[in-house]
Structure 1
Amino acid sequence: MEGVFDPAQLRTFLAVAQTLSFTQAAHRLGVRQSTVSQHVRRLEEAAGRQLFSRDTHGVELTEDGEAMLGFARSILEANERAAGWFRGTRLRGRLRFGASEDFVVTRLPEILKGFRREHPEVDLELTVELSGTLHQQLEAGKLDLVLAKRSEERPQGQLVWRDRLVWIGAEGLRLDPGRPLPLIVFPPPGLTRARALDVLERHGRSWRIVCTSGSLNGLVAAARAGLGVMAHTDGLIPPGLVPVPERAGLPELGPVDFVLLYGERQRDTATRAAAERLAEAIMAGPVP
């Protein structure tokens, strides 16, 4: 075992770990898939362990791969701190960052805490909103960087994480197939709301809205009370809620991408530099 890990290989490893796809990792990094495979193979050789298990069904992290996640983030963060020190430059200015409410109970608070610790002279302003609202604010020049669901109308963005939307509700919730589906939803322009209603309409499934709230906590409370079902990201299901069983016959909601988007009207180079540095911190490991 060499004991020395190449930062480029670690970044490739993290991209594969986030997407669980060599193809998606290559797309994100802007390199060939063969390069991704080569980086992972060399990192596994340096570690002396297999980091991914690969078969016809997909890619999964091994136990050693899970351990490497933490080490990779720490190594890359240390490299970035060292580079910043010897560059002799300190980030300054104001950064307006918008994040989808999906992430407030994930690793995002930890990432933002680390960013504030490393860059205390950046005035970070956080906006937590619906993904649709964040897209609108970004286009209006009110935000510099956004972490949100990918919009079908705005397919651009740097892929951070791919998952799927599922129907969730309280455990033991019973749905009457002969009655309209009771829905718990965000208000417009929520992207998850739009997807859920569109899918139900296309499958001819009648529905009625039993709860609307701009707060994820409000929706979760209603779902825990057994008022109905809500569409939600599979990897971010809140405690006390479970996926609706397949026997309920609800249509599949499809995949969902979480992306980073930069404001097109960056106010100055300092803002752009701060946005890029925060984006790097978010990309350094899976958000959930």
Structure 2
Amino acid sequence: MNNPLDTSLLHTFVAVADVRSFTGAGRRLNLSQSAVSAQVVRLEEQIGRALLVRNTRNVTLTEHGQTLLGYARAMLNLSQEARVRLGTGDAFAGKLRIGVSEDFAGGWLPDAMRRYSAARRGLLLDLTVDIGDSLFRRHANGDFDLVIGSRCSHSDKGVTLWRESLVWAFARHEPLPEGDVPLACFPNPCPYREAAVKALALAGMPYRIACESPSATGIRAFARAGIAIAPMSRNAIDDELRELGVSEGLPELPEIEFVMMYDAGLPAAVEFAETIFDEVAVRTGAGKRNQAVAKKPRA
């Protein structure tokens, strides 16, 4: 390996390593799967080592691939910083105010923010975690440039990222509580709490708020202990919880809609929104994303 490494090949390699998918990396880079594969092969030929192990389900890094990944990130960051310092790159200044709901913040968003921030030297990402309804209201008031939250009722405001089921979660090995249904919920206003209370009221089932916590960790702790039943997204149920439903006498809950709203007049917000669209497309296997734009109301 005597020749300098091609940064364009490193960029493709990092994209594949991030999403563990040639198809997903292609979506992110606007390249075909075959083009991504060819670039990785060229990089492996330059290195003289296998960097990735491919099978029909996923892509994993070899030991050499893990070693190169750290260097590749550093080299790409330095390259971008050099362009900015020399005035030949995209220099962003100021702050991007982002608001997300907690059920979203605990997933892949922090990694997406890290990658975006590394490529935008000078731009500060200011993150606030709050409840979806509060985020949407504060965005309308101008407190945020971009928000991502969940809601249980459809609206024409914002862009839908994906939908999933809202379900009842309870301790995997604990007996069901007797009497009024004990709920573990976020404080009001909370779409999950509102949906749960409405469903129980329509079913004529008495309930009580056994746990009210601003943290998803606190709600899960009560549910795992068998003290309360928590309304949460199906994907949030872990090995210590089980899903309850009609067979346990509980009413069906509505579907959750994960929504993004952003200021279409702010370039940094639009670009970060594109990053989120691409991540969602990769992780959900969605096709061409919805190009609709949610403009922030102005007074």
Give the TM-score category using the shorter length: 0.5 to 0.7
Deviations 1:12-66 (A, max 9, x none): x87xx9xxxxxxxxxxxxxxxxxxxxxxxxx79999xxxxxxxxxxxxxxx85x6
Q: Tell me the equivalent position of 2:171.
A: 170
Q: 1:155 to 1:149 in 2, by over 3 A?
A: farther
Q: Tell me the equivalent position of 1:211.
A: 211
Q: Tell me the equivalent position of 2:241.
A: 241
The TM-score normalised by the length of structure 1 is 0.66
In 2, are the aligned partners of 1:160 and 1:259 still within 8 Å (CA)?
A: yes
RMSD: 3.8
In 2, are the aligned partners of 1:91 and 1:273 still within 8 Å (CA)?
A: no
Q: Tell me the equivalent position of 2:137.
A: 136
Q: 1:237 to 1:176 in 2, by over 3 A?
A: closer
Deviations 1:190-233 (A, max 9, x none): 11111111111111111111110111111111111111110000
Q: 1:169 to 1:136 in 2, by over 3 A?
A: same
Q: Tell me the equivalent position of 1:276.
A: 270
Q: CA deviation at 1:121?
A: 1.3
Identity %: 31
Greater RCO, 1 or 2 (C-alpha within 8 Å, sep 6+): 1
Deviations 1:166-185 (A, max 9, x none): 100111232256x2111111
Q: CA deviation at 1:238?
A: 4.1
Distance 1:214 1:235 in 2: 20
Report how many aligned residue pairs link the two structures. 226
Q: Tell me the equivalent position of 1:103.
A: 104
Counterpart of 2:255, as a letter, is P
Q: CA deviation at 1:132?
A: 1.4
Q: CA deviation at 1:88?
A: 4.2
Distance 1:129 1:199 in 2: 24
Q: Tell me the equivalent position of 2:195.
A: 195
Distance 1:161 1:112 in 2: 19
Q: Tell me the equivalent position of 2:180.
A: 180
Q: Which runs of 5 or more residues in structure 1 are unaligned?
A: 1-12, 18-42, 48-62, 69-77
The TM-score normalised by the length of structure 2 is 0.64
Distance 1:116 1:106 in 2: 17
Q: For 1:285, what is the secondary structure of its paired residue?
A: helix
In 2, are the aligned partners of 1:167 and 1:229 still within 8 Å (CA)?
A: yes
Distance 1:105 1:238 in 2: 13
Larger radius of gyration: 2
**1:43-122 counterparts in 2 under 5 A?**
64=56, 67=58, 88-122=89-123
In 2, are the aligned partners of 1:150 and 1:156 still within 8 Å (CA)?
A: no
Q: 1:176 to 1:170 in 2, by over 3 A?
A: closer
Q: For 1:252, what is the secondary structure of its paired residue?
A: coil
Distance 1:117 1:89 in 2: 12
User: Runs of at least 4 residues of structure 1 off by over 4 A?
Assistant: 43-47, 84-88
Counterpart of 1:129, as a letter, is D
Distance 2:144 2:119 in 1: 21
1:258 aligns with 2:258: yes
Deviations 1:148-179 (A, max 9, x none): 013637442112121110100111232256x2
In 2, are the aligned partners of 1:165 and 1:256 still within 8 Å (CA)?
A: yes
Counterpart of 1:147, as a letter, is I
Distance 2:228 2:95 in 1: 42
Deviations 1:115-147 (A, max 9, x none): 111112111110001111111211221111001
